[in-house]
C-alpha cells in the first residue's frame, strides 16, 4: 500500500503530519463537516447529511442518508464502504460505517456523530 502523507492542525500540538489511515479519517471527517453550498464558488462540495438531523428516521430517509454517505466516500479514491448503520441520537444522527482501504490492507469501523448543538461531526 502506498503511504499517504498529509497535514492536520486540528487537535494537534506540534506534530502536524498525518499518514495512512489517520489521514484518511481526518479527510473524511473534514468532508462531513462541510455543508453543501457552504464553500464559495464550489456549490457541489459538501454534504447534505446535516439536513437529516431533525427528520424522522423513516426507511426512506435512512436510504437517502446511506446514499449521501456513499456519495461522500466515493469522492475519496482511497476507501470504500463495507457496511453502514444509521441511528438516531439525542441532538443529531449517529452513523456507524465500516470502511476498507481500496488495496484491502486495512479495515476499520468508524462511528460518526452529527451533533446539532456542537454544529460539527465527530468520531465517537
- Average pLDDT of the chain, as a whole number: 82
Question: Domains in the chain, please, with CATH?
Answer: 5-123 (3.10.450.40)
Q: Provide DSSP, 39-76.
A: STT-TTSSBSGGGGTTS---HHHHHHHHHHHHHHHHT-
Share of the chain above pLDDT 90, in %: 29
Residues of the chain short of pLDDT 50, as ranges, are: 1
pTM of the model: 0.79
How far is residue 44's CA from residue 30's CA, in Å, rounded to a whole number? 15
Torsion, Cα of 106, 107, 108, 113 (10° steps): 120
Q: What per-residue confidence (pLDDT) applies to 60?
A: 96
Q: Which three cell numbers stand for residue 70?
A: 456513499
Per-residue pLDDT of 51-78, as tens digits, reads 998 888 899 999 999 999 999 999 888 8
Amino acid at each position: 500500500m502506498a503511504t499517504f502523507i498529509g497535514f492536520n492542525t486540528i487537535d494537534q500540538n506540534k506534530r502536524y503530519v498525518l499518514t495512512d489511515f489517520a489521514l484518511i479519517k481526518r479527510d473524511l471527517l473534514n468532508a462531513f463537516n462541510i455543508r453543501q453550498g457552504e464553500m464559495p464558488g464550489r456549490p457541489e462540495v459538501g454534504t447534505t447529511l446535516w439536513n437529516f438531523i431533525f427528520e424522522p428516521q423513516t426507511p426512506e430517509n435512512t436510504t437517502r442518508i446511506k446514499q449521501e454517505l456513499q456519495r461522500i466516500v466515493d469522492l475519496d479514491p482511497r476507501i470504500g464502504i463495507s457496511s453502514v448503520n444509521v441511528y438516531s441520537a439525542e441532538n443529531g444522527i449517529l452513523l456507524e460505517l465500516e470502511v476498507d482501504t481500496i488495496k484491502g490492507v486495512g479495515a476499520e469501523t468508524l462511528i460518526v456523530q452529527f451533533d446539532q448543538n456542537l454544529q460539527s461531526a465527530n468520531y465517537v
